[in-house]
Amino acid sequence: MSRTKRSLPPVPPEDKPDSAAPAAAGEALDESADGAGQGAAVRGVSAEEIAQDIATAIVEKRLPPGTRLREEALGKVYGVSRTKIRAALLTLSRDKLIQIVPDRGAVVSKPSVQEAREVFAVRRVLEAEVVRLFVAQARPRDFERLEQHIHIERTTLEPRTSVGSAREKLLGDFHVAMAECTGNVTLTELVREMVARSSLIAMLYPSSNDPHCSSDEHEQLLRVCRRGDTAAAVACMSDHLQRVEASLRLDAGIPERQLDLVKALLS
Ligand SMILES: [Zn+2]
């Protein structure tokens, strides 16, 4: 996974309710600041690159959950217009890494333990249906596609490099790919959203699982599907999701360390 080398300078996270200073400080930074801003360390950077850079900062906990992302401040950091920043934020909000809150702007998502459990409960229901449809109608090329995906998981997810979003995305993509094979677009969209939210949850409450456990389980699921045993395949998927959820440190809450990071960014 190639990442932009640039590292995001500290963005003042205005997450203290009493520091709701009107955007006055940043108002001066409007479209005309594009390319002219003093602090414009990086030029010609695309909205996608900015989104990727912020996503990396979120995954690496430099921008902890709950951090407010101000368009003005980000525009200054990247030396681009607020329009471009807005496009980057929209991408991140589609991926559920941030939330756009009315009157508050963009905030790094912070799924609660309750929400995390709800997401997995919903996934079990949705993906049971995915498995039923898959067993009923999967063609040889669908099996080939998923087998190929498992092969990529195995060759890409080396223990030392499989951290953060890349690992979660790859493992999550298997579930999305299986949903796509059913041909039910609406179901696939729902699965895609739930998988994206699961990825953020896994970043917040890191899994103690070896990624290869998940690959093994994906492989086993596929074997059961091949046999055409719908009930066993549904049980297999349900057990897999249960194990993924159980491996997350949901009971530990969000590490206190992250709150210290916010203070460090503010100082
Ligand atoms: Zn999985």
Listed in sequence order, the residues at least 6 apart from 151 whose beta carbon sits closer than 8 Å to its beta carbon are none
Structure tokens at 40: 């414009």
When pLDDT is cut at 50, 70 and 90, the band that residue 252 belongs to is low
- C-alpha of residue 61 to centroid of ligand 1, in Å: 24
Expressed in angstroms and rounded, the spacing between residue 170 Cα and the centre of ligand 1 is 9
Question: If pLDDT is split at 50, 70 and 90, which confidence band does 23 have?
Answer: very low
Instruction: Report CA(205)–ligand 1 centroid distance (Å).
Output: 16
- Give the distance (Å) from ligand 1 centre to CA of residue 163: 16
Residue 86 or 4, more confident: 86
What distance in angstroms lies between residue 237's CA and the mean position of ligand 1's atoms? 8
Task: Write down the pTM of the prediction.
Answer: 0.67
Mean pLDDT is lowest, of 65-69, 136-140, 167-171, for 167-171
Contact assessment for residue 90 and residue 131, using Cβ atoms and an 8 Å cutoff: no
**What mean pLDDT comes out for the span 117-136?**
97
Residue boundaries of the structural domains of the chain: 17-109, 113-252
Residue at 180: amino acid letter: E
Residue 65 CA to ligand 1 centre (angstroms): 24
Task: Please provide residue 72's backbone torsions phi and psi, each rounded to the nearest 5 degrees.
Answer: -60, -45
Q: Residue 244 Cα, ligand 1 centroid: separation in angstroms?
A: 7
Kindly provide the b/e burial profile for residues 223-262, where b requires at least 16 CB atoms within 10 angstroms of the residue's own CB: ebbeeeebeebbebbbebbeebbebbebeeebeeebeebb
The amino acid at residue 258 is Q
Rounded distance from Cα 203 to ligand 1 centre (Å): 15
**For residue 83, what are its two tokens?**
């329009």
In this structure, what token pair is assigned to residue 227? 């046999």
The winner for highest mean pLDDT among 36-40, 94-98, 237-241, 251-255 is 237-241
Distance from the CA of 224 to the center of ligand 1, in angstroms? 15
188: nearest Cα among 134, 109, 145 = 134
Q: Per-residue pLDDT tens for 172-215?
A: 889 999 999 999 999 998 998 888 778 778 877 876 666 667 88
156 Cα to the center of ligand 1, angstroms: 15
Cα(226) to ligand 1 centroid in Å equals: 17
What local confidence, expressed as pLDDT, does residue 73 receive?
92
Between the CA of 175 and the centroid of ligand 1 the distance, in Å, is 6
Span from the CA of 171 to the centroid of ligand 1 (angstroms): 6
In CATH, what number does 113-252 get?
A: 1.20.120.530
Residue 111 predicted with pLDDT over 70: yes
Q: Strand, helix or coil at 102?
A: coil
Find the 215 Cα to ligand 1 centroid distance in Å: 7
Given the DSSP bridges, would you call strands 98-101 and 105-108 parallel, antiparallel or unpaired? antiparallel
Which pLDDT does position 206 carry in this prediction? Answer: 73
The chain-wide mean pLDDT, for the chain, equals 77
CATH class of 17-109: mainly alpha
Going from the Cα of 246 to the center of ligand 1, the distance in angstroms, rounded, reads: 13
Structure confidence at residue 60 as a pLDDT band (50, 70, 90): low
Give me ligand 1 centre to Cα 136, in Å. Answer: 20
Beta bridge partners of 107: 68, 99
Q: Stretch 116-142: mean pLDDT, rounded? A: 97
User: In angstroms, what is the span from residue 218 Cα to ligand 1's centroid?
Assistant: 6
